[in-house]
Structure 1
C-alpha cells in the first residue's frame, strides 16, 4: 500500500502593502444601472470607445436644430456612455451654445477667460493665452452650490501631437471600492472650495475678488445621479479640501484613497482630438483630465457648461 507524503506549506517572509492600495484582478464594470437593458438607437449610430464610458455619435450634424426625439435619444446615450464625441462639427460659438441649451440654462464662470460671450469659456494654450492647468483629475465647478450638469467642449486648434483628454467613470470607481470604504463614505459630506484649484495660476488679488461669490460648500462624498439613480464618487483633487467631521490627518488619508480611483485605466476613455471635434459629458458621473503633453504648441478649446442641480 503506497502512501503520499504531505508536503509542508512553505513559510513566506513577512511582507505587506498599505491597506486599500490598488490590487490587480477583475473589476466590476457596469455601464447601465442595475436592471436596465440596452435599447437600440434609431436616429444615429453609437460607436463605443470604452467598456463603460465613451462613445462616438455618427450621423448627426450639430449645426442643425435638435428635435425632441433626437434630444431624448442623445440624453439616453449620455446617461449610458457618460461622454459623447462628435467628429468634425466645426460649430460656431452660437451653434455650440444652442446645442448645449437643449439640456438647460448655461453657466457663466468669471474665474476663466470668456470667448464670444460670457457663457463661453476659452482655453487658449498658446503664447497669447493666459496659463491655466487642467491636467489633473477633476469634475467641473464642484465648488458651486449647484455644480454643472454637463459641458460641451469643442477643439478649435489642435497641437500636432498630444493634447488628448481623458474621462473617468465615477460610478465604476464607486462600485469597486472596498465594502468597508463604501460604508465609511456613503453618508459622508465633503467641503469644496475654488481656491485650491485656482491659486496654482492666479494670484491672491484676483482670487480675493471672488471669495464672497463662491464661499466653501458641502456636497455628499457619494452623490446619487438624479436621472439614473446610480451612486457616483463625488470628490476631486482640484476642489475637495476635506471630509466634514474628520480630523485633518484622517480626512487627508481618506481623500487620497478616493481621488486615486479616477486613475484606474479600466474606468477611463481617452479621446484624440481633431479640429472641430465636440465632446459632451455628464459632469455628475465623470471626471476628466486634459493631458498636457504638447509643450509650447497651441491648443485652443471652447467650453459651454450647463447649469446643474444640488447634489444629494
Structure 2
C-alpha cells in the first residue's frame, strides 16, 4: 500500500515582526508528527493526505468488518499521524458504526444532545426548522467533562445538495506557531471549562440549572500533552473554555481570544466535502472542528458516536 507524499521543508521562515494578535505572518511551521516519530509505510490500506499536517483519506478498508489487531494498530498509527481519517462510501449501520468505534475504547453518552437509536449515538438533524444548531463554531467536544472524549466517529446519513462541509484544525500546529512569549505564559497554565457557553441557547433556565448540577465547571491545562505521542497541543476552545485561572478577567479574555484565533489559520486546517455514507474518525485530543452551515434550508443528517477519553495532563 502507498502513501501520497507531501513535500516538506526543514527551513522555517519567521517574520521579524509579530502582529498584536500573536499570529505569525508569512510561512508557518507545519510539523505533521512529533520529534522522533518513525516514518513507516502502511501495509494494509492506502493513505491519501488531504492537507500538510492534518487529514487523510483511508482507502481499501470495509469498516463493517471486524478489525484485526494488526489493522487496528495500523489505523491508530494513521490517526496519530493525521489526526482525522476519512473513509468514503461506508454506509455503516448504527451497530457497525458503534462496533468500529469500540475498537478504541468504551463509548461515551451525552444526555445534552439528541440521541439516535441508542444512548451512545448522537443524531444531528439540521433542516429548515430554524432551531439553534452546533454549527459555525470551532470547538473540541465535551471539554466541560473531567475526561473529554478521546475521539469520535461521524457518519453523514443525508447530505445537502451543496455545502455542509466539516473542517478540522490541528492544535499541535496551533501551539507550535504561537510566539515564544505566549507559549511561556501558557505552559503550565490551567483554564476553566463549562458547558454553559455552548448549550445555553438550547435550553431554558430550569433545564440549564439541572445540567449545572450534573456538569459543574472543570479545569484542564491550557496546553495538554498527547497521551500517546507526548506532543504539546493547545487545549482551549470557544464553546467551553471560560477563563484562565489566576488571571484578571480582562487579561484572561485577551489571552483566550488570541488562543482561540489559532484554530482559524487555514494552514492548520483540512476541509472535507461529504457524500452520504462517508465516515470521519478524529482524535478529539488533538483537534478542533467546525461544521459549516452554508446549505440554506436543505437537510443535513449526521450520526456520531464518541469514545471516552482520559484526564488531560
TM norm structure 2: 0.92
* Matched residue SS, 2:214: coil
Q: CA RMSD in A?
A: 1.4
- The alpha-carbon distance between structure 1 residues 26 and 128, as it changes in their structure 2 partners (threshold 3 A), is closer
Q: How far apart are 1:201 and its partner, in Å?
A: 2.7
State the partner residue of 1:78: 79
Contact 1:20–1:178 (CA under 8 A) maintained in structure 2: no
How far does the alpha carbon of each residue in 1:252-308 deviate from its partner, in whole angstroms, 9 at most, with x for none?
A: 000000000000000000000000000000000000000010111000000000000
2:186 aligned with 1:185: yes
State the partner residue of 2:159: 158
Alignment of 1:209-224 (within 5 A): 209-224=210-225
- The alpha-carbon distance between structure 1 residues 71 and 17, as it changes in their structure 2 partners (threshold 3 A), is closer
Q: How far apart are 1:180 and its partner, in Å?
A: 0.5
2:137 aligned with 1:136: yes
Mark the structure with the bigger radius of gyration. Answer: 1
State the partner residue of 2:273: 272
- Mapped to 1, the partners of 2:245 and 2:30 lie a distance apart of 30
2:31 aligned with 1:30: yes
- Mapped to 2, the partners of 1:129 and 1:282 lie a distance apart of 30
Contact 1:139–1:283 (CA under 8 A) maintained in structure 2: yes
- Mapped to 2, the partners of 1:86 and 1:27 lie a distance apart of 28
Q: How far apart are 1:22 and its partner, in Å?
A: 2.9
TM norm structure 1: 0.93
- Mapped to 2, the partners of 1:260 and 1:127 lie a distance apart of 30
Contact 1:136–1:289 (CA under 8 A) maintained in structure 2: yes
How many residues get paired? 297
- Mapped to 2, the partners of 1:273 and 1:253 lie a distance apart of 36
- Mapped to 2, the partners of 1:184 and 1:69 lie a distance apart of 42
How far does the alpha carbon of each residue in 1:86-108 deviate from its partner, in whole angstroms, 9 at most, with x for none?
A: 00000010100000000000000
- Mapped to 2, the partners of 1:43 and 1:278 lie a distance apart of 18
* Matched residue SS, 1:223: strand
State the partner residue of 2:296: 295
How far does the alpha carbon of each residue in 1:89-128 deviate from its partner, in whole angstroms, 9 at most, with x for none?
A: 0001010000000000000000000000000000000246
- Mapped to 2, the partners of 1:269 and 1:109 lie a distance apart of 26
Contact 1:49–1:56 (CA under 8 A) maintained in structure 2: yes
State the partner residue of 2:61: 60
| Worse-superposed segment, 20-29 or 228-237 | 20-29
State the partner residue of 1:246: 247
- Mapped to 2, the partners of 1:126 and 1:190 lie a distance apart of 35
- Mapped to 1, the partners of 2:158 and 2:77 lie a distance apart of 30
- Mapped to 2, the partners of 1:17 and 1:148 lie a distance apart of 34
- The alpha-carbon distance between structure 1 residues 129 and 20, as it changes in their structure 2 partners (threshold 3 A), is closer
- Mapped to 2, the partners of 1:197 and 1:130 lie a distance apart of 15
* Matched residue SS, 1:210: helix
- Mapped to 1, the partners of 2:167 and 2:180 lie a distance apart of 27
- Mapped to 1, the partners of 2:39 and 2:18 lie a distance apart of 40
- Mapped to 2, the partners of 1:168 and 1:17 lie a distance apart of 22
* Matched residue SS, 1:77: helix
Contact 1:140–1:147 (CA under 8 A) maintained in structure 2: yes
- Mapped to 2, the partners of 1:186 and 1:244 lie a distance apart of 13
Contact 1:186–1:222 (CA under 8 A) maintained in structure 2: yes
Q: How far apart are 1:23 and its partner, in Å?
A: 3.7
* Matched residue SS, 2:107: coil
- Mapped to 2, the partners of 1:35 and 1:157 lie a distance apart of 42
How far does the alpha carbon of each residue in 1:50-92 deviate from its partner, in whole angstroms, 9 at most, with x for none?
A: 1000000000000100111000000000000000000000001
